[in-house]
Amino acid sequence: MFGRLLHTIKRHMPFFIWAPGAALLVYIAGVDLYLSEQLILAVMCVLVMVICWWRYVHTLDNHYTLRLSRLLLMVIAGFMAVRYIIWRFEYSIPWYEDTLSVTCALTLLFAECLAVALYFSGAFVNLHPLRREPQPIDLKDPNLPTVDVFVPTYNEDPELLRTTLLAATDMIYPRDKLRVYLLDDGGTQAKCEQPGKKGEQARLRRKELQDLCFEVGCFYLTRKDNRDAKAGNIDAALARTDGEFIVIFDADHIPTNDFLKNTIGTLLADEKKAFVQTPHFVINQDPFEKNLRADREFPNEAEMFYTMNLRGMDNWNAGFFCGSGAVMRRKALEDVGGMLTDTIVEDAETSIELARRGWKAAYLHQPMLCGLNSESTEAYVHQRQRWGTGMTQLLWEKNPLFVRGLNIAQRVCYMNCILFWLFSIARIIFIVSPLLALLGGITLFAAPPIEILLYMVPYLIGLGLVINMLYGRVRWLFVSEIYETLTAVFLVKNVIKTLLFPKHEPFIVTPKGEVLEYDKLSYLAPRFYVLIGLQFIAMGAGYYQLSTDPTTLNSVTFSMGWNLYNMIFTLAALGVLIERRQVRARPRVPIHEMGKVKFGEQFMPCEIIDMTEDGALLKLPGWMGRLDAKEGQLEFAQSHIASDELSLTRVLDNLSRVGFKVVSVRTQKDKKKEHLLVSVKFDYEDETQRLAVISYVYGNSSRWREMLKSRNKHSRIMQGMVFVTRAAYLGLVHIAMAFKGLHHVLLAFKLLLQRKKAPKAVQEGKA
């Protein structure tokens, strides 16, 4: 018994050393100071935090996470957060106001606690992210394990699937050990047996996909019914396959050639590793970027999760399977009974279960697949609703705080993932609170505004600096507020509903590859019209209060300031809801590599500006005059495939050629030189040529790495503010467009009324 205790103490020794210090800090955070002393403390802390932040952010090796300035900033910011929350608990709740005020104040406090909990768990997760390197493998080793690649599909476009399947089959791995399966849930027996048009469509789809598989060289699998959606689909395939490792790709996730080469080694090195997850790299703009006209100004929203969180969780051995882009050990999957199906986030649920049973996981931060963001705001919102609902379900089904077998770090990491989705509740509370204060006369704080500011401002500054330091490369301060504001409005209902009634929710597939031919106002906008309207009225009410009762100056000004802040982000979110036209289902990938172009018999060098499997934009340097050719041939080198690995792929030649038809030609002036820009559309002779193009465009992981790197620049806080202002302006444009639309509707309605009121004779005459 004593020995066991000693062992426990020894095992947790770091914690026993660290905990008293943390306890002391928490205690000091509760010290009740006079306002002047609090101001000095706040100013000093903010000053030191800014210096730490500056030193860390402006150093060349700011990836190094153990820099003292980074840790010092986190400690001080944590201290200020704890101090703020203690102050809120002890001195700012208006206990003696009316019941409604107390309820609202406590609700606000709950939201703040949630935010602080998320902040702390996030900081813990990202304290020391792991940077794994691929483990090399001998591709000629006859003992390499067999790999089954699963591409589950439900209703995706076959052409989208073709690209994915071709890329999957083209991964560098011994041919005899690699099998690619298309798991079709759109052509299940149950679907095909549906009466009428639906059944017919399902049968047609099944036939089409079977043909596609035959052409591509992979296996078609389907099942009796659609039970348990994607998880059920994978489980069904597991029973019918026998590969030692399983790779899962979503239908739009195109892997690079070196996917298996880079991942399998990690699993082979440790038998307790259940899976290796890789990041989901997306090449298209999400609706925010697209609609706010941010041309890759800031990193994609998902990059924070893949660049920071997963690496952080990997450090604490809290692996997270993201549903796609992972290599899994069949044995581990079978140990937990395949993909779990109690929630609609089978990936997260399975991850927790694997960790609970002692399986390890690894995250390899090398972009080796290329996916698509949802193009429309509606699709984006649907996707977030599904994730939010599913993660909230986990609180009931597999709450990391209570399930057995996880260590403390794993519990914190998984809870952080779940808590993230409760942000919608907090966000809505933050938006509604000043409205209640201004419109309903609710008292939210039992403290003078100056005291609120003295405690709140340093906390918020600390929060902002830490967020910027941790996620500055992958997420912009303030810009993320727009994401959250928009999502929260739609997500909150799902989250609360799931919290109250955690029943099984249907799995809704996120539409990908959508096309929009013209700009339009999203149908999601009305909720924001109401919100903006209320915020405007609240500002009016505040102004009225100020003009009639000057004694409320401080509290009303505080509420109005808060409301104005919310208004800016609500307007910015409204700006996102102007859906911009989208003409390409899959965007062109920037290439900027040299190739050769052949018009007639003459080859000449060209620069491949960008390219997809459908076509490319070519730059002919120094070309003067006209281009009369209507077709040609493009030659490009598969430089990312080593010559000795070529035999392991299905690409025939390192130097690939594909024929094209010229779509358009224009000249470009660059440094006093004129170039010809030629837009071409590929004209494939066979699948081999298509495969070569796919391999060239999507098969090169270094390309994704470079793209990622080019976007990975530390954000400036001012940039974020400027962007938000621009977005808020677009929100005003949205309102103007809506009024214009309303004007049209009213005009039509007026005309209708006039028509009804017009004398019969006139009507007849017109007729």
Partner 1 sequence: MSHHWKIGIIACALLAWPCCANSADAPSGPAPAAAASMQPAEKASPAAMASETSAVKKAETAAKAAADKKVPGAAQESEVKAPAKLATEKAVAQPGSAGNEGSKQAESKKARAEDKQPAAKAAKKQPVKPKRVYVPADVPAQELKAVSVRRSMRDFIRNHARRFIVLRQSEATYAINVPVSYRIEPSKIKAHIVFTNSNALLKGRSQMRLRWNGGVFAQAPLDPSFPDGMIDVTVPLELVTSGQNQFTIDVSQHYLSECEDPGSPELWTMVDMEASYIELEGKMRPVQPTLRSFDNLLSSLDWSDLHVTMVPLSKSPEHLHAGTLLAESLANRAGEQHVIIDSAELGQTVGSTAIGHDLVVFGTYEEAEAMLGPIEPKGGARGHILVRARQNDPGHFLLAVLGKTKQDVVKAASAFAWATLPLSDEATMDVFDVQVPSAMAYSSRHAVQEGREYNFADLGFHTTTLKGLQDAATVTLWLPPDLFAKTHAQVEMRLHFSYGAALRPDSVLNVYHNGQFLRGISLSDPRGLLVRDYRIWIPLHAFRPGLNEFRFESRMRANTGTNCTTGNTDNLLMTLFDDSTFTIPETSHYVAMPDLNYLVNTGYPYLGDLGDTPVIQIPNLKPHMLASAWTLAAKLGQLKGSPIQSLTVSNTDMGATNVIRMDVFSNIDDRIWEAAPVHLGRKGFVNHPSLANPSVLGHDPLTWRKKLNMLLEGSEYESGVEGPRYHSVGIQQSFSLKNQGVMMQFENPRVDNGTMTLLVSDSQEQLVDAIHSLIRLWPQMQDSHGDLLLWGTAIEQGRPDFWSAEVGSHTYHIGSMPFLERITYFAIQYPVFLLIVLFIVFVFMAILTRALLIMYRHQVHPHIEP
Task: Supply the residues annotated as catalytic.
Answer: 185, 347
Q: How far apart are CA 59 and CA 43, in angstroms?
A: 24
Binding partner 1 (rule: CB under 8 A), the pick from 6, 9, 37, 337 is 37
257: nearest Cα among 592, 635, 638, 615: 638
Binding partner 1 (rule: CB under 8 A), the pick from 6, 35, 530, 742 is 35
Q: Are 636 and 613 in contact (CB under 8 A)?
A: no
Residue 122 CB, shortest distance to partner 1, in Å, is: 16
Residue 447 CB, shortest distance to partner 1, in Å, is: 9
Site string for partner 1, 87-116 (x = CB under 8 A): ---xx----x--------------------
Residue 127 binding partner 1, by CB under 8 A: yes
Q: How far is CA 732 from the centre of its chain?
A: 26
675: nearest Cα among 628, 624, 603, 633: 624
> Helices 526-548 and 423-439 meet at what angle, rounded to 10?
40
Site string for partner 1, 422-451 (x = CB under 8 A): --------------------------x-xx
Q: Which is nearer to partner 1, 131 or 661 (CB)?
A: 131
Q: How far apart are CA 204 and CA 172, in angstroms?
A: 33
Q: How far apart are CA 334 and CA 329, in angstroms?
A: 9
Residue 614 CB, shortest distance to partner 1, in Å, is: 41
Binding partner 1 (rule: CB under 8 A), the pick from 27, 89, 536, 749 is 27
Q: Which is nearer to partner 1, 9 or 748 (CB)?
A: 9
Render 530-568 in DSSP notation, one character per residue: HHHHHHHHHHHHHHHHHHH-GGGHHHHHHHHHHHHHHHH
Residue 69 CB, shortest distance to partner 1, in Å, is: 9
Residue 32 CB, shortest distance to partner 1, in Å, is: 4
Residue 68 binding partner 1, by CB under 8 A: yes
Single-letter amino acid, residue 361: A
Residue 315 binding partner 1, by CB under 8 A: yes
Residue 132 binding partner 1, by CB under 8 A: yes
Residue 319 CB, shortest distance to partner 1, in Å, is: 13
Neighbouring C-beta atoms of residue 674, cutoff 10 Å: 13
Site string for partner 1, 448-467 (x = CB under 8 A): x-xx--x-------------
| Sole window of 71-79, 435-443, 489-497, 730-738 interacting with partner 1 (rule: CB under 8 A) | 71-79
Q: Which is nearer to partner 1, 48 or 294 (CB)?
A: 48
Render 622-651 in DSSP notation, one character per residue: T--S----SEEEEEEE-TTS-GGGGGGSS-
Q: Which is nearer to partner 1, 39 or 642 (CB)?
A: 39
How would you label 498-518 residue by residue, b for 16+ Cβ within 10 Å and e otherwise? beeebeebebebbebbeeeee
| Sole window of 21-29, 193-201, 206-214, 679-687 interacting with partner 1 (rule: CB under 8 A) | 21-29
Neighbouring C-beta atoms of residue 263, cutoff 10 Å: 29
Paired strand residues for 246: 148, 328
Q: Which is nearer to partner 1, 358 or 448 (CB)?
A: 448
Please count the CA atoms within 13 angstroms of the CA of 315 that sit on its side-chain side: 17
Q: Which is nearer to partner 1, 154 or 445 (CB)?
A: 445
Residue 414 CB, shortest distance to partner 1, in Å, is: 17
Q: How far apart are CA 458 and CA 663, in angstroms?
A: 58
Residues sharing a CB contact under 8 Å with residue 395, sequence separation 6 or more, in sequence order: 418, 499, 502
Q: Which is nearer to partner 1, 29 or 516 (CB)?
A: 29
Residue 86 binding partner 1, by CB under 8 A: no
Q: How far is CA 738 from the centre of its chain?
A: 29
Residue 26 binding partner 1, by CB under 8 A: no
Q: Which is nearer to partner 1, 318 or 616 (CB)?
A: 318
| Sole window of 70-78, 158-166, 199-207, 385-393 interacting with partner 1 (rule: CB under 8 A) | 70-78
| Sole window of 1-9, 13-21, 106-114, 659-667 interacting with partner 1 (rule: CB under 8 A) | 13-21
Residue 402 binding partner 1, by CB under 8 A: no
Residue 317 binding partner 1, by CB under 8 A: yes
| Sole window of 122-130, 427-435, 707-715, 739-747 interacting with partner 1 (rule: CB under 8 A) | 122-130
Count residues binding partner 1 (CB under 8 A). Answer: 43
Q: Classify residue 55 by burial, with Cβ atoms within 10 Å: 0-12, 13-18, 19+.
A: middle
Q: Classify residue 202 by burial, with Cβ atoms within 10 Å: 0-12, 13-18, 19+.
A: buried
Residue 500 CB, shortest distance to partner 1, in Å, is: 35
Residue 561 CB, shortest distance to partner 1, in Å, is: 17
End-to-end CA distance of the chain: 100
Binding partner 1 (rule: CB under 8 A), the pick from 55, 128, 596, 705 is 128
CA distances from 109 to 143, 439, 463, 694 (A): 59, 20, 17, 53
Q: How far apart are CA 285 and CA 303, in angstroms?
A: 12
Residue 557 CB, shortest distance to partner 1, in Å, is: 13
Q: How far apart are CA 733 and CA 271, in angstroms?
A: 57
Give phi and psi for 360, each to the nearest 5. -95, 170
Which residue's structure tokens are 């609202």? 104
Residue 130 CB, shortest distance to partner 1, in Å, is: 6
Residue 211 binding partner 1, by CB under 8 A: no
Q: Are 444 and 436 in contact (CB under 8 A)?
A: yes
570: nearest Cα among 537, 541, 536: 536
| Sole window of 123-131, 283-291, 335-343, 518-526 interacting with partner 1 (rule: CB under 8 A) | 123-131
Binding partner 1 (rule: CB under 8 A), the pick from 56, 79, 305, 380 is 79
367: nearest Cα among 711, 707, 639, 701: 701
> Helices 408-420 and 377-397 meet at what angle, rounded to 10?
140
Residue 735 binding partner 1, by CB under 8 A: no
Footprint on residues 161-200 left by partner 1 (CB under 8 A): none
Residue 516 binding partner 1, by CB under 8 A: no
Q: Which is nearer to partner 1, 73 or 591 (CB)?
A: 73
Residue 605 binding partner 1, by CB under 8 A: no
Q: Are 593 and 306 in contact (CB under 8 A)?
A: no
Residue 753 binding partner 1, by CB under 8 A: no
Residue 677 binding partner 1, by CB under 8 A: no
Q: Which is nearer to partner 1, 25 or 546 (CB)?
A: 25
Binding partner 1 (rule: CB under 8 A), the pick from 1, 17, 60, 761 is 17
Q: Are 446 and 94 in contact (CB under 8 A)?
A: yes
Q: Which is nearer to partner 1, 127 or 665 (CB)?
A: 127
> Helices 408-420 and 346-356 meet at what angle, rounded to 10?
170
Residue 322 CB, shortest distance to partner 1, in Å, is: 21
Residue 50 binding partner 1, by CB under 8 A: no
Residue 646 binding partner 1, by CB under 8 A: no
Q: How far apart are CA 254 and CA 269, in angstroms?
A: 26
Binding site for partner 1 (CB under 8 A): 14, 17-18, 21-22, 24-25, 27-28, 31-37, 39-41, 44, 48, 66, 68, 71-72, 74-76, 79, 90-91, 96, 127-128, 130-132, 315, 317, 448, 450-451, 454
